[in-house]
């Protein structure tokens, strides 16, 4: 049968029951929510406390802190939502609540569940009774009403959790109260585990001076000082440290902190530092200190030297550079540098060696200049190299201590102390070579010698300078001049040139000449350096002839000595020859005498050779002087030939025979024969010597005769000189008279107003007149002696003339006039006596030297030998003349080049 009522009828849960279930649900939710929150807080507090506690003992690693944080927050983040899901979402319906209640009260729970299901049952009036369902629900509601539903709630932990949170919070509060810095540090490290926040320790060490890793010198003891920070809360009295696994070192707290002294280390390791609650580990790396591997100085010399910049290796630590130079340092090191410093300090000068008294006195009076203050040296670092700013080198020597630190913080082992000595541009050293310091020449001769110079830098030029000086009164000006020999260059530190100096080329008349070589370097305002002076006496032919005569006199004296020695040797040999028996010649005593005789002969031969050489020189010089007659030259040549034969042939043969006479193998007869032969040869040699002396004396007499002419001429020239000087002074034509304030003429020499210039001149002329008077006296006396020896009439005539003229007396009077400044009459008289002396010279000159009793023989009667000699003499003089011309040509060429060099130098 079909259902007549299609709409179902629902029966709701009684209100009382519903209310009870809702209350149950509210209690359940509240309890579980509180539990979830407390559990979350508990986790956070515990994880923070873990970090806080751990940090008090170790520096909790970031990952560990992260793990702890995650674990702590997971209660909140994971566990709480799960609880919510289970207890809130899982118990939102009456049925779910009924099932929870059934766990505690199964019957009641089942009934409640039945009621919940009944209310949702859908049936019609025909099948079910709604009144019955309502009665059943009311019944269950009454039963539930009798029960305390709170008992059906699950076991709650919120009290324990609350207690735990409270205790944890108390711990946190206590931690923050007693160690707020540690608490806040732990909170920061807990909240931000990866932030790198340093662990807070009560002992706060200042490790800013200890980089990690820290480099120390290789195998050298090192010190680590660890100071405490200002804000440290704890100051432990003792700290400990150890290198790797080596023993712990303990040290006390000092004012600066904790000082640890470690032995030298060769390998890297970790240094553990424990001070109070602070624990640090620092990696230590032993490294060899940075070294200077190269140091160069770029020296820019003063501009005037015109030299390029030089690079000098100065690893030795010393440098010598010229004052005024600019020096740049360039250094290379074994490692890249972090910093480098240097200070330029001037040092007082070394004790200089004072070479002359003048310099010594100068230095004594000079006040030493104050030393400049030290200045820091600007250094530019580029990786492992440094360059300095230019150092301007002054008068003082300089010291530059260099120090450097590499990028690892290692300093140089020792300071590199660079010393720069200040050198000064020395004046060139100039000298001459190939010429004696004093020399006598004729005006036509030419000197050839070398001028050499050395300098520390460049030489600009070398040359010659000369200054003449007349030794007798004359109205001529002394010679003065110079000649440029060679131009140098900034790079020429040595320069040399052959100097060809001919007085004639430069118009220099006979006088005393001081010649010096000069050199000029490039230093501005420096005077020329000069060589040792060469004194050149430029002679007239008559002066030269007189000089030769003196040499000839000495040479004849030596020849006579040689002859005397030979005579003595001969006498001794003859005594040996007079022994009774030839056998006696071979006994020891006589053999020794023979040996002595041989030595004596050897010595005489050597002496003769020496005399021959001197004679050759004399002959050569005489050939140069045209005033010497050819007859004189012929006799000199003959003497020279004899001397050569004696030295090379005769005397050595005697020596040889004497040697043979001592031969032990010889019979007594043979020995005697050898001795006799030696004696014979010796006699011949002695004869030749005497002939040589005779010829030499004859030549010397001719020389003497010809020198009378020269001596008279020279005396005449002296008188002319005195006269000319007086005349030029009277007329105001010479330099002295121009300097004088009052005229010479008419002034009394004794007067106080007599001008000092003239006083000096008058004294000088008086002295000269006295010398000339003395010379004339000697000429007169020598002529008388010469006549006595040679009996040449012409000489007697001159002597008589001189006596008659009373020249000696008159010249004395002339000297007195000069001394009294009777200038005019003295000049006239000097002129007169000059003319007289010249006339006597002319008279002698007109007569050939041999005319009165000489060997005679004009050219017409000359034998072939004499003709040959004459030819040779002419040829010799011709060669000398041509050589002189050639030398003078060279000298002129040098003069011309000197002008061209100067032009080139100026351009």
Partner 1 sequence: MKKTILTSLLGLGLMAPSGAEESKKPTEAAKAEAAVKHDKGTQKLADDQDTVSADVQELIDEQTNAKVIDLLSQVETLMAETTDRLDEKNTGGETIAIQTEIIEKIYEAAKEKSQ
Helix axes 15-55, 106-119, angle to 10 degrees: 120
Cα–Cα distance measured from residue 334 to residue 384, given in angstroms and rounded to the nearest whole number: 7
Nearer to partner 1, 475 or 884 (CB): 884
Residue of 811, 837, 814 whose CA lies nearest to 827: 814
Nearest distance from C-beta of residue 742 to partner 1, angstroms: 24
In three-state secondary structure terms, 798 is helix
Nearer to partner 1, 199 or 528 (CB): 528
Nearer to partner 1, 109 or 428 (CB): 428
Residue of 318, 324, 315, 311 whose CA lies nearest to 293: 315
Nearest distance from C-beta of residue 355 to partner 1, angstroms: 6
545 Cβ contact list (under 8 Å, min separation 6): 625, 627, 628, 703, 706, 707, 710
Can you give 273-313 as a three-state secondary structure string? EEECCEEEEEEEEEECCCCEEEEEEEEECCHHHCCCCEEEE
Quick one: tokens of 757? 């210039």
Nearest distance from C-beta of residue 722 to partner 1, angstroms: 23
421-447 as b/e: b if 16+ CB within 10 A? ebeebebbebbbeebeeebebbbbbbb
Nearer to partner 1, 483 or 686 (CB): 483
Nearest distance from C-beta of residue 838 to partner 1, angstroms: 25
Nearer to partner 1, 82 or 360 (CB): 360
Nearer to partner 1, 471 or 731 (CB): 471
Nearer to partner 1, 593 or 897 (CB): 897
CB 273 within 8 A of CB 279: yes
Nearer to partner 1, 164 or 428 (CB): 428
Nearest distance from C-beta of residue 405 to partner 1, angstroms: 50
CB 830 within 8 A of CB 723: yes
Which DSSP category does 650 fall into? I
- How far is it between the farthest Cα atoms of the chain? 219
Nearest distance from C-beta of residue 454 to partner 1, angstroms: 12
Quick one: tokens of 535? 């004194």
Nearer to partner 1, 317 or 533 (CB): 533
Taking the CB of residue 527, how many other CB atoms lie within 10 A of it? 9
E strand or H helix at 721:
helix 668-730
Residue of 654, 634, 640 whose CA lies nearest to 868: 634
Beta-bridged to residue 482, according to DSSP, are: 465
Would you call the peptide bond into 213 cis, given omega within 30 degrees of 0 as the criterion?
A: yes
Residue of 208, 229, 211, 182 whose CA lies nearest to 59: 182
Nearer to partner 1, 8 or 756 (CB): 756
Nearest distance from C-beta of residue 439 to partner 1, angstroms: 17
Nearest distance from C-beta of residue 442 to partner 1, angstroms: 13
CB 10 within 8 A of CB 119: yes
CB 336 within 8 A of CB 406: yes
Nearer to partner 1, 308 or 525 (CB): 525
| Interface ranges with partner 1 (CB under 8 A) | 355-356, 358-359, 427, 429, 465, 467, 469, 480, 482, 504-507, 514, 516, 518, 520, 527-530, 532-533, 867-868, 871-872, 874-875, 877-879, 881-886, 888-893, 895-896, 898-899, 902-903, 906
Nearest distance from C-beta of residue 879 to partner 1, angstroms: 5
In three-state secondary structure terms, 693 is helix
Nearest distance from C-beta of residue 467 to partner 1, angstroms: 4
Taking the CB of residue 335, how many other CB atoms lie within 10 A of it? 18
Nearer to partner 1, 474 or 887 (CB): 887
Cα–Cα distance measured from residue 211 to residue 234, given in angstroms and rounded to the nearest whole number: 23
Nearest distance from C-beta of residue 426 to partner 1, angstroms: 10
Burial of 502 (0-12, 13-18, 19+ CB in 10 A): buried
Nearer to partner 1, 613 or 867 (CB): 867
Beta strands (DSSP E) in 551-658 are none
Nearer to partner 1, 463 or 473 (CB): 463
Q: Percentages helix, strand, coil for the chain, rounded to the nearest 5? A: 50, 20, 30
Cα–Cα distance measured from residue 537 to residue 441, given in angstroms and rounded to the nearest whole number: 6
Nearest distance from C-beta of residue 637 to partner 1, angstroms: 14
Nearer to partner 1, 656 or 897 (CB): 897
Nearest distance from C-beta of residue 887 to partner 1, angstroms: 9
* Contacts of range 355-363, beta carbons closer than 8 Å, 24 or more positions apart: none
Nearest distance from C-beta of residue 628 to partner 1, angstroms: 16
Nearer to partner 1, 533 or 854 (CB): 533
Nearest distance from C-beta of residue 875 to partner 1, angstroms: 5
Chain position carrying tokens 């000088």: 764
CA separation (Å) from 811 to 473, 711, 767, 784? 16, 16, 12, 19
Cα–Cα distance measured from residue 136 to residue 751, given in angstroms and rounded to the nearest whole number: 184
Nearest distance from C-beta of residue 871 to partner 1, angstroms: 6
Nearer to partner 1, 700 or 891 (CB): 891
Cα–Cα distance measured from residue 474 to residue 456, given in angstroms and rounded to the nearest whole number: 45
Nearest distance from C-beta of residue 221 to partner 1, angstroms: 58
Residue of 541, 852, 870 whose CA lies nearest to 705: 852
């Amino acid at each position: 049968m079909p259902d007549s009522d299609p709409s179902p009828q629902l029966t709701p849960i009684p209100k009382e029951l519903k209310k009870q279930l809702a209350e149950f649900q509210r209690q359940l939710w509240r309890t579980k929510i509180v539990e979830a929150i407390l559990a979350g807080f508990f986790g956070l507090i515990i994880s923070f406390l873990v970090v806080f506690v751990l940090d008090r003992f170790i520096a909790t690693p970031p990952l560990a802190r992260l793990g702890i944080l995650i674990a702590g927050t997971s209660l909140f983040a994971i566990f709480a939502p799960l609880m919510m899901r289970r207890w809130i979402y899982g118990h939102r319906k009456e049925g779910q609540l009924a099932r929870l209640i059934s766990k505690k009260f199964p019957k009641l729970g089942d009934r409640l569940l039945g009621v919940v299901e009944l209310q949702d049952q859908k049936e019609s009036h025909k099948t079910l009774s709604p009144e019955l369902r309502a009665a059943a629900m009311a019944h269950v509601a009454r039963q539930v009403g009798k029960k305390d539903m709170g008992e059906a709630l699950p076991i709650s932990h919120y009290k324990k959790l609350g207690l735990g949170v409270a205790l944890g919070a108390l711990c946190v509060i206590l931690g923050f109260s007693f160690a707020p810095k540690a608490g806040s540090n732990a909170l920061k490290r807990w909240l931000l585990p990866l932030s790198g926040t340093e662990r807070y320790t009560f002992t706060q060490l200042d490790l800013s001076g200890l980089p990690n890793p820290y480099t120390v010198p290789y195998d050298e003891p090192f010190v680590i000082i660890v100071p405490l920070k200002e804000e440290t809360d704890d100051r432990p009295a003792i700290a400990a440290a150890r290198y790797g696994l080596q023993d712990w070192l303990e040290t006390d707290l000092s004012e600066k902190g904790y000082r640890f002294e470690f032995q030298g280390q060769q390998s890297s390791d970790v240094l553990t530092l424990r001070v109070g609650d602070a624990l640090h580990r620092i990696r230590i790396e032993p490294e060899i200190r940075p070294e200077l591997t190269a140091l160069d100085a770029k020296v820019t010399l003063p501009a005037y030297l015109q030299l390029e910049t030089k690079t000098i290796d100065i690893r030795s630590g010393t440098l010598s550079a010229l004052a005024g130079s600019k020096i740049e340092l360039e250094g290379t090191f074994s490692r890249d540098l972090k910093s480098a410093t240097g200070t330029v300090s001037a040092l007082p000068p070394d004790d200089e060696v004072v070479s002359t008294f003048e310099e010594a006195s100068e230095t004594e009076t000079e006040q030493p200049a104050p030393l400049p203050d030290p200045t820091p040296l600007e250094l530019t670092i580029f990786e492992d190299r440094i360059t300095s700013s230019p150092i301007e080198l002054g008068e003082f020597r300089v010291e530059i201590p260099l120090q450097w630190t590499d990028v690892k913080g290692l300093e140089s082992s020792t300071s590199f102390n660079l010393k720069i000595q200040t050198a000064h541009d020395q004046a060139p050293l100039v000298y001459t070579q190939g010429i004696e310091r004093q020399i006598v020449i004729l005006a036509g001769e030419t000197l050839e010698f070398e001028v050499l110079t050395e300098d520390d830098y460049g030489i600009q030029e070398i040359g010659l300078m000369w200054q003449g000086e007349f030794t007798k009164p004359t109205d001529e000006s002394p010679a003065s001049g110079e000649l440029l020999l060679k131009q140098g260059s900034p790079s020429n530190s040595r320069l040399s040139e052959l100097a060809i100096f001919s007085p004639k080329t430069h118009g220099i008349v006979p006088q005393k000449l001081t010649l010096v070589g000069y050199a000029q370097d490039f230093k501005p305002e420096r005077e020329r350096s000069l060589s040792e002076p060469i004194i050149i006496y430029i002679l007239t032919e008559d002066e030269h002839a007189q000089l030769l005569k003196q040499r000839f006199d000495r040479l004849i004296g030596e020849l006579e000595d040689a002859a005397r020695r030979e005579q003595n040797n001969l006498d001794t040999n003859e005594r040996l020859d007079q022994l009774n028996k030839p056998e006696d010649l071979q006994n020891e005593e006589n053999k020794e005498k023979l040996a002595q005789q041989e030595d004596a002969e050897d010595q005489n031969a050597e002496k003769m050779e020496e005399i021959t050489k001197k004679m050759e020189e004399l002959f050569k010089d005489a050939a140069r002087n045209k005033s010497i007659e050819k007859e004189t030259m012929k006799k000199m040549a003959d003497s020279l030939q004899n001397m050569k034969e004696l030295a090379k042939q005769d005397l050595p043969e005697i020596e040889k025979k004497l040697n043979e006479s001592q031969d032990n193998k010889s019979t007594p007869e043979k020995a005697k024969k050898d001795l006799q032969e030696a004696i014979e040869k010796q006699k011949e040699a002695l004869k030749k010597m005497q002939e040589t002396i005779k010829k030499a004396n004859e030549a010397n007499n001719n020389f003497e005769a010809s020198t009378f002419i020269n001596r008279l001429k020279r005396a005449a020239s002296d008188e002319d000189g005195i006269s000319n000087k007086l005349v030029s002074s009277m007329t105001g034509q010479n330099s002295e008279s121009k300097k004088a304030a009052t005229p010479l003429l008419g002034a009394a020499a004794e007067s106080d107003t007599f001008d000092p210039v003239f006083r000096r001149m008058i004294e000088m002329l008086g002295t000269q007149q006295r010398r000339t008077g003395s010379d004339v006296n000697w000429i007169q006396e020598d002529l008388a002696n010469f006549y006595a020896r040679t009996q040449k009439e012409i000489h007697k005539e001159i002597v008589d003339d001189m006596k008659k003229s009373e020249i000696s007396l008159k010249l004395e009077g002339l000297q007195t006039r000069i001394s009294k400044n009777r200038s005019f009459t003295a000049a006239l008289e000097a002129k007169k006596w000059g003319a007289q002396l010249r006339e006597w010279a002319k008279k002698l000159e007109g007569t050939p030297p041999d005319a009165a009793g000489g060997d005679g023989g004009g050219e017409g009667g000359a034998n072939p030998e004499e003709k040959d000699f004459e030819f040779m003499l002419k040829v010799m003089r011709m060669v000398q003349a041509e050589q002189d011309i050639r030398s003078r040509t060279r000298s002129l060429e040098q003069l011309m080049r000197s002008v061209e060099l100067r032009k080139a130098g100026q351009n």
